[in-house]
Amino acid sequence: MREHRLKIGVSGIRGVVGEFLTPALASAFAQAFGTYVGPGRVVLGRDTRPSGQMLEHAVACGLLAAGCEVVLVGIQPTPTIQVFVSATGARGGIAITASHNPPEYNALKLFNHGGLFFNHYERGELLDLYHQSEFRHAANHEIRGVIADPDGPPRLHLDRVLAHVDAARIRARRFRVALDAVNGAASRMSCEFLRDRLGCQLDAIAVDPTRPFPRQAEPKPETLGDLAALVRDRGSDIGFGLDPDGDRLAVADESGRVLDNDDVLALVVDRVLERVPGDVVVNLTTSSVLDAVAERHGRKVHRTPVGEANVVERMQAVGAAIGGEGGNGGIIFSGVQLCRDSFTGMAFLLDRLAAGGDTVSSLAGRLPLYFRRAAQVAFQHGRLGSLIQSLEELHPEAARDRRDGLKLVWPDRWVHVRASNTEPVLRVTAEARSERQAEDLRQAVLALLAP
């Protein structure tokens, strides 16, 4: 099962640290990256995982060996690194983070000179370089140095976000905000953003980047019990839950109920489309609630295979105003940076609350009601093809989309089955206008997967 513990996907290279993702592999991959982007500055940052500092040294060595100059920004949210790359004219950037995966994982997320994930062409070229070991080896006089700049990236990022909301109106409301930053890369920056830049009365937990993740890394309703309790105990107007690299956002309403991530994306999209012209791009697993929100503004929804890089490429192609991946809490606003960004999401939600005097629950309650059910099962090579065939035979009346596994669509419901980009599992997601229909669809797929 070795191939399952190290994976190269749409965002970079990822695996369990130790036997699979090693310093030697990270250094070689970084040298291939440096060879591809060419001599010049490369931004390097990381999240708070125990393996981060070790891999940071290895990656820096690989970049230096290729003749790059390394701009070391330290512990930073992934979107902050991406903004900094695009704003400073760097040749590229690398974030050492496994995002929502467990702490034993780590990864290299790779960005081009625009701070974007590599597209399919760029990724193919880089992988060819890596597999053929065709690295540039800088001569002694070509070896450059390491520059430390931990303060520039947060300032640039937050300034970009605040340019799109009425910060003065948010500060005037003095919102009481609860925060769970999972002791991740956004721990300190999110406190500065909410308390100092937006004037919120902040009650924060898990904001110490020197400590381990206190909960499962992915922010979703079943992992955010402490945030929900904090909201209720402190009488918060809203609660925010982050993942370890600060690109995913979960939201709790004023009662402590954690919203479905698709509904969070829908609320942000609704706010953005009130101000910015353009369509919406989401992945195939994102809820149909986005279609209803976009239609309200006379806009179209475009869908892509799962993966931030896929969504961003489509956003560029259609000139979209906003996009995202609802199931994972990813919000991508083109006005800040074409990347998932929890800070943009927090800002637009507070901006909406400040403008209308609504509560989070009242805003969410006005969204169309869809029921979603999800599951994941251990991936077994060779079974996805037969599963897809069986599903198609079972439901010949449904519309089919095979761009990413299989999605079957009916007028009032859908089910999507796909292999994960980041873990050795199959993901099953079903949505319908009734709870029973959604669960029946999910169970039908799980029955086909049963041994």
27 is catalytic: no
* Mean pLDDT for all residues in the chain: 93
73 and 124 together in one domain: yes
Question: Are 109 and 42 contacting, i.e. CB atoms less than 8 angstroms apart?
Answer: no
* pLDDT score of 387 more than 70: yes
377 and 340 together in one domain: no
CA 100: distance to chain centroid?
8
From 341, 365, 389, give the residue that closes a domain. 365
From 117, 150, 183, give the residue that closes a domain. 150
The per-residue DSSP string of 319-382 comes to T-SEEEEGGGTEEEETTT-SSB-HHHHHHHHHHHHHHH---HHHHHHTSPP-EEEEEEEE--TT
166 and 108 together in one domain: no
220 and 351 together in one domain: yes
From 129, 150, 171, give the residue that closes a domain. 150
255 and 354 together in one domain: yes
* pLDDT score of 372 more than 50: yes
User: Number of folded domains in the chain?
Assistant: 3
269 and 403 together in one domain: no
* pLDDT score of 256 more than 50: yes
315 and 215 together in one domain: yes
In this structure, the number of other CB atoms found within 10 A of the CB of residue 339 comes to 28
Q: Are strands 280-283 and 301-304 parallel, antiparallel or unpaired?
A: parallel
For 88-114, the pLDDT digits (tens) are: 999 999 999 998 888 999 999 999 999
> Which residue matches tokens 């699979």?
20
Q: Which entry of 27, 86, 99, 342 is annotated as an active-site residue?
A: 99
288 and 255 together in one domain: yes
Please report, for the domain that includes residue 416, its CATH number. Answer: 3.30.310.50
249 and 110 together in one domain: no
* pLDDT score of 245 more than 90: yes
Q: Domain of 356?
A: 156-365
215 and 346 together in one domain: yes
38 and 22 together in one domain: yes
219 and 295 together in one domain: yes
**Upper half-sphere CA count for residue 26 (Cβ side, 13 Å):** 30
Please report, for the domain that includes residue 63, its CATH number. Answer: 3.40.120.10
